[in-house]
Amino acid sequence: MRSILFVCLGNICRSPLADGIANRYARELGLDIYIDSAGTSDWHKGEAPCEHSIKIAKQNGVDISGLRSRPICPQDLKEFELIIAMDRQNRSDLLSYGFENVKLLGDFGGLGGADVPDPFYFKGFSGFEKVYEMIDRGVRDILRSS
């Protein structure tokens, strides 16, 4: 596998975490994979990841503070071999836009096909810890199988 795109709704919580986690593990494993993230919407275009995502990533040795939100674009159809959606709605949206080879992150890491919930709507920080753990498990499994 040469390229992976992680996708959530706004590209400020879940997909930047997956991007950062995957890039860290790819470096550690010596994998030459292009990894990026995007959102199915452009609501947060150009914004940094949300404060809680930056915080939980930093607590786990991952720096995502330099990432900026971007919406998916037609070029992504050509550029990425594997598209990983954070939940079923993201997957459905991607398929309706013509993307192929779209998988759910929850199909990896023993997560039983679960949606990775959008922590943007959680109250407080505790939901971000659970989301980080889910993403970490799924990403490790994806990269191990590449």
Active-site residue identified among 8, 13, 70, 136: 8
Please compute, for residue 55, the number of CA atoms within 13 A of its CA located in the half-sphere on the CB side. Answer: 10
Amino acid type, 12: I
Contact 78, 7 (CB under 8 A): no
70 catalytic, yes or no?
Answer: no
Record the tokens describing residue 27, joined without a space. Answer: 């470096």
Record the tokens describing residue 12, joined without a space. Answer: 């400020």
141 catalytic, yes or no?
Answer: no
Active-site residue identified among 13, 14, 50, 87: 14
118 catalytic, yes or no?
Answer: yes
Q: What is the dihedral of CA 49, 52, 35, 78, to 10 degrees?
A: -50
Active-site residue identified among 19, 93, 118, 136: 118
Which active-site residues does the annotation give?
8, 14, 118
